Amino acid sequence: MKIFLVAGEASGDALGAALMAGLKELAPGVAFHGVGGAKMETEGLESLFPMEDLSVMGLIEVLPKYRQLKRRIAETAEAVTRIRPDALVTIDSPDFCLRVVRAARAANPDIRTMHYVAPTVWAWRPGRAAAMAPIVDHVLALFPFEPPYMEAAGMTCDFVGHPVVAEPVAPADAAAKFRETHMIGPEQPLLLCLPGSRRGEVSRLAPRFEEAIARLRDREPALRVAIPTVRGVAALVREMAARWKVVPLVLDETADKRAAFAAADLALAASGTVSLELAANRVPMVIAYDFNRLTWWMMKRAALIDTATLVNIVTETRAIPEFLGPACQPGPIANALGRLIDDDEARAAQLAAMDATMDLLGRGGEAPGLRAARSVLAHL
């Protein structure tokens, strides 16, 4: 059996790796082809090109990379046609992935196509499900409320759980050792700073995050800061962080990162999947994000909900404070972080929402990667 997978960013790479592990367990001898990152490579994928070539987000932000992305679409679709896999499984990154699917299906109308991560039609652009239906046969959904949206558009869909519920959480002794190793006292607040996994968003958000942290440090002189990062932006983060007023620890993708999540008291994070990682580790958080102004205006007009944070969406609460678009300013962000240190009720509300989120996403059940693999094989 041959499976062609395409992932375009760090969160998709993690999904793809878990799916590959599940497929290897259920279908020994399966062969993989496609595009992915370090985690998928560890599971046996030889990526056609570096996944980081695709890591761009935003409508206006895509324009400078348009020609390269168009070339990569053609290159990937040609590989699908040449390899003739039993299934093409694209993972998130719909602007790239669905163009690959369309081109691959044009060359081979009989190819089985699956998309992992349902489009957020409940949040914005509800017509995306209908647009996918002519080229996508089956969808693997991360959230339990998504299958009816996909089925109504004419695709089959399984809720397979969110991979965050299967990720290991460092034990208390690892958290204590992390603090001891980095000389962080038990009374010192430890803040995780997570400015994104794409170069563009790190460049845009990190200066504002730095200023917010500097303001918080004025109120909390004992504050310590750690930045867990990913391969594609690690060098950029280190370069920028070296000039910060509050010099942080910069952590690579190692067990140290899990220990830092377990040891942290609060976090400032870019909007995205990382909010669920923080929730799994019960780290109270503030979410902040900004786009190019035109991108923000267009997305704001298209939005169907008033929050972008997954914990808020899944639990139908607004426990996690957000600073999005023009509101992404250091002063208000610093104030919100300060409240998480001072206000026990605000922290308790977040922790309750986080626990509920993990339960709704499948905590305690079969690993999502294995569920996803079963879904792929059942559909084939």
Three-class DSSP category at 260: helix
| DSSP code per residue over 168-235 | ----HHHHHHHHHHTT--TTS-EEEEE--SSHHHHHHHHHHHHHHHHHHHHH-TT-EEEEE--GGGHH
Strands 249-251 and 322-324 turn out to be: unpaired
Tell whether 167 is covered by a domain: no
CATH of the domain at 53: 3.40.50.2000
Same domain, 229 and 328: yes
Same domain, 131 and 253: no
pLDDT computed for residue 103 by the predictor:
97
**366 DSSP assignment:** S
- Residue 146 · residue 159 · CB < 8 Å: yes
Helix (H) or strand (E) holding 157: strand 156-159
pLDDT computed for residue 143 by the predictor:
92
Three-class DSSP category at 141: strand
pTM here is 0.78
Which residues lie below 8 Å from residue 299, measured CB to CB, with a gap of 6+?
59, 124, 291
Same domain, 90 and 177: no
Give the span between the Cα atoms of 197 and 10, in whole angstroms.
7
Same domain, 198 and 73: no
Whose tokens are 């400078």? That residue is: 64
Same domain, 203 and 131: no
Domain ranges, residue 43:
2-161+364-379
Three-class DSSP category at 268: strand
376: tokens are: 């792929």
Same domain, 265 and 241: yes
Same domain, 41 and 125: yes
Same domain, 155 and 11: yes
CA angle at 54 for the pair 50 and 55, rounded to the nearest 5°: 105
| Count of domains forming the chain | 2
Same domain, 206 and 269: yes
Same domain, 109 and 191: no
Tell whether 55 is covered by a domain: yes
- Residue 7 · residue 51 · CB < 8 Å: yes
Same domain, 66 and 178: no
Per-residue pLDDT of the chain (380 residues; tens, 9 = 90+): 999 999 998 889 999 999 999 999 999 999 999 999 999 999 999 999 999 888 655 444 556 677 888 999 999 999 999 999 999 999 999 989 999 999 999 999 999 999 999 998 876 678 899 999 999 999 999 999 899 999 999 999 999 999 889 888 999 999 999 999 999 999 999 999 999 988 889 999 999 999 999 999 999 999 999 999 987 889 999 999 999 999 999 998 766 889 999 999 999 999 888 899 999 999 999 999 997 776 667 667 667 678 889 999 999 999 999 999 999 999 999 999 999 999 999 999 999 999 999 999 999 999 999 999 999 999 99
Cα-to-chain-centroid distance, residue 22: 20
